[in-house]
A and B are shown apart, each in its own frame.
Chain A
Amino acid sequence: MSDTIAPSARRRKHGGGTAKPPKAASLWSDAWHDLRRRPLFIGSAVLIAVILVIAVFPGLFTSVDPLNAASCELAKARQPMSGAHFFGTDNLGCDVYARTLYGARNSIVVGLSTTIVTAVVGGLFGLVAGFKGGAVDTLFSRITEIFFAIPSILGALLILAVFRTGNVWTVTLALAVLAWPMTFRIMRAAVITAKSQDYVVAARALGASAPRIMFRHILPNAVAPVIVVSTINLGTFIAAEAGLSFLGVGLRSPDISWGLMISDARERFLEAPAPLLFPALFLSLTVLAFIMLGDAVRDALDPKLR
């Protein structure tokens, strides 16, 4: 970005594009301009939008309320796919379609809240450690290394065993405790790079205070990699929630979770594959969508990686 022809060069590369001149060519508007033309981004964004609508308003797509135990009829257990039950019924005679839709909410909540907690905690500590350096940095870095040494599944099992209850918030906490060091490292590295840039020295010479330099000059220039990694992590957190629920330490009945549904259906899988396959399919699509989004965002924010 060292020359003034960058915006026009970029437009040309995208073959014609729009005739509108790029007016504010900030990193973010440039990235947005770039993103809107990527099939990868459009595909994942549409998928995520659909999943979000399902998560927020599952009632729009089904009249069955799976949270109400009366919706299940034991006599109709393991029915195949039909007009009445699109995805069939499970071991307890509950409608798999409705349960899969209602399961989206917990996955999204765990994924989003874990991402927010890790980005804020890891990002803030990383910002401080990278900016202050010295003893503060050493202290934080050693602490994160302790966390890196804990195998994540074992760590999460242990934390959830201590809580004795598995719900959305304890799962979020367990995942966040183990995941923030990664965000920390990425933020710290980005801050150290940004800190030595001339504009930070210039800001100091022109009288900016330390907090101002940290939040106004360094943070906006260091936040891009954290956003990328957080987007990709969102998908893996959703998968991790399913994994923990499958193992019986995550969400528990009567909460609905894809991992829990897979776990419940696995013993009668050959007899009735639908109760396992459909939540697994939704899970895979959701995780895939977020990872694809992360990839697209990374490409847009860091053209050099392409």
Chain B
Amino acid sequence: MKKTSTPVLPARTAPGDGPLLAVDDLHVEFATRQGVVKAVNGVSYSLNPGETLAVLGESGSGKSVTAQAIMGILDMPPARIPRGEIRFRGTDLLRLPEDQRAQVRGQRISMIFQDALSALNPVFTVGWQISEMFRVHRGMSRRDATKKAVELMDRVRIPAARQRVNDYPHQFSGGMRQRIMIAMAIALDPEVLIADEPTTALDVTVQAQIMELLAELQRESNMGLILITHDLGVVADVADKIAVMYGGRIVENALVHDIYRSPAHPYTKGLLDSIPRVDLKGQELYAIKGMPPNLLDMPQGCAFHPRCPYRQDDCVTDAPPLYEVGPTRGSACHYWREVFDDSRR
């Protein structure tokens, strides 16, 4: 990373004309014994205050790595960011010195994880862990911090918060644990919250409650929410816009309604077609054929071409750029028009 001038972190109240958070042409590689794994290959997306961006993709599509790069919690090495910018209120986080970067983590940009049980420290009470945020970052006394912890537990709807503040993580159910994780993440009023598959480990009814809670907290505080998921069902109700990732790239981005109505990328279309539907009961369920790409040995041209029903010869040789489909959407497919027309039929 080159250091030309030392950028300064903008204040919370900075009147931003640009987006709150913008990822621009981000590349992330991992040096492994087998070779260089290109996990993220030029991802760009942006997020405004109060907006929810869903990043959709299967395992290994680079969606979590992108989030970890934003948080600055990638282990470097083996990870490397050869190119790209992550601008938070206009300041490139990647060029920020570590001490200022640390000011961002948890306070300005925060994150929750898939498995809240393993993301909570097993040897401390949940109250201790939530109040730690206030003690460390706000210098509060133990008593005041614990009071704030109870308030937060109330805010994320944990019943009998006052009685449960001294319980340990394993004494809570999965949904309650995720609420505690959320309480920790929103403790310092972050401007951006990244939720990395927050509901994957939970059962369906609890999933809906957690998503509702996140949406509500977002309305109260106007924070930007990045929702990383592989579950199309979770996305539909809460997201404003969607970025679909495949093989470390964004293959399609659009407003949420547009993408459900008429996908413009064969991968997105495949995903939507594989949702079980009541009216097609009894018929064989559609599945995208083939396997996700091997990140050590990415296919030439379009990464999706070995699995793509719309494949033509040039897909094998030329990687498609993100074509503009409309004012607010793009698709990285040479033949997006065909896909688009097919899906509107």
Residue of A nearest to B111 (CB): A205
Is A247 positioned at the interface, with any CB of B under 8 Å from its CB?
Answer: no
Residue among A25, A197, A201, A207 with max Cβ neighbours from chain B (10 Å): A207
C-alpha spacing A21/B188, complex, angstroms: 35
* Chain A proximity of B75: nearest CB distance (Å): 9
Is B14 positioned at the interface, with any CB of A under 8 Å from its CB?
Answer: no
Please give the residue numbers on chain A whose beta carbons come within 8 Å of chain B beta carbons, in ascending order.
Answer: 1-4, 6-7, 24-28, 197-199, 201-209, 212, 216-217, 220-221
C-alpha spacing A206/B187, complex, angstroms: 10
Is B120 positioned at the interface, with any CB of A under 8 Å from its CB?
Answer: yes
Please give the residue numbers on chain B whose beta carbons come within 8 Å of chain A beta carbons, in ascending order.
Answer: 71, 73, 102-103, 105-107, 110-111, 113, 115, 117-125, 132-133, 136-137, 166-168, 170-173, 181, 184-185, 188
A25 near B181 (CB under 8 angstroms)?
no
A199 near B173 (CB under 8 angstroms)?
no
B110 near A205 (CB under 8 angstroms)?
yes
Chain B residues, Cβ within 8 Å of A7: 171
C-alpha spacing A4/B167, complex, angstroms: 11
A2 near B121 (CB under 8 angstroms)?
no
C-alpha spacing A177/B110, complex, angstroms: 45
Chain A residues, Cβ within 8 Å of B102: 207, 209
B170 near A6 (CB under 8 angstroms)?
yes
* Chain B proximity of A3: nearest CB distance (Å): 7
* Chain B proximity of A5: nearest CB distance (Å): 10
C-alpha spacing A1/B105, complex, angstroms: 30
B113 near A201 (CB under 8 angstroms)?
yes
C-alpha spacing A212/B124, complex, angstroms: 14
Residue among B106, B107, B132, B171 with max Cβ neighbours from chain A (10 Å): B171
* Chain B proximity of A191: nearest CB distance (Å): 14
Q: A204-B105, A205-B106 are in contact. List 19 more A-B contacts (CB 8 A).
A: A2-B117, A4-B170, A4-B171, A4-B172, A24-B125, A26-B123, A198-B115, A199-B119, A199-B120, A199-B122, A201-B119, A205-B73, A205-B111, A205-B113, A206-B110, A206-B184, A207-B102, A207-B133, A217-B121
Residue among B105, B172, B188 with max Cβ neighbours from chain A (10 Å): B105
**A24-B166, A25-B168, A207-B102 known; A221 vs B107 contact (CB < 8 Å):** no
B71 near A205 (CB under 8 angstroms)?
yes
Residue of B nearest to A223 (CB): B123
Chain B residues, Cβ within 8 Å of A26: 123, 125, 168
Chain A residues, Cβ within 8 Å of B110: 205-207
A206 near B121 (CB under 8 angstroms)?
no
Chain A residues, Cβ within 8 Å of B171: 4, 7, 25
Chain B residues, Cβ within 8 Å of A212: 136
C-alpha spacing A6/B123, complex, angstroms: 15
Residue of B nearest to A201 (CB): B73
Chain A residues, Cβ within 8 Å of B170: 1-4, 6, 25
A27 near B123 (CB under 8 angstroms)?
yes
Which of A6, A198, A206 interacts with B105 by CB under 8 Å? A206
**A201-B73, A205-B111, A207-B107 known; A220 vs B124 contact (CB < 8 Å):** yes
C-alpha spacing A204/B115, complex, angstroms: 16
C-alpha spacing A93/B120, complex, angstroms: 65
Chain B residues, Cβ within 8 Å of A27: 122-123
Residue of A nearest to B71 (CB): A205
B136 near A207 (CB under 8 angstroms)?
yes
Chain B residues, Cβ within 8 Å of A28: 123
Sampled A-B contacts (5; CB under 8 Å):
A2-B170, A25-B170, A198-B115, A206-B185, A220-B121
Chain A residues, Cβ within 8 Å of B121: 199, 203, 217, 220-221
* Chain B proximity of A291: nearest CB distance (Å): 26
B105 near A4 (CB under 8 angstroms)?
no
Residue of B nearest to A133 (CB): B75
**A2-B117, A4-B171, A198-B118 known; A207 vs B105 contact (CB < 8 Å):** yes
Chain A residues, Cβ within 8 Å of B166: 24
B105 near A202 (CB under 8 angstroms)?
no
A24 near B168 (CB under 8 angstroms)?
yes
Which of B115, B119, B136 interacts with A208 by CB under 8 Å? B136
Residue of B nearest to A199 (CB): B121
C-alpha spacing A201/B124, complex, angstroms: 16
Residue of A nearest to B70 (CB): A205
Chain B residues, Cβ within 8 Å of A209: 102, 136
B123 near A202 (CB under 8 angstroms)?
no
Chain B residues, Cβ within 8 Å of A2: 117, 170
A204 near B73 (CB under 8 angstroms)?
yes
B119 near A198 (CB under 8 angstroms)?
yes
* Chain A proximity of B263: nearest CB distance (Å): 32
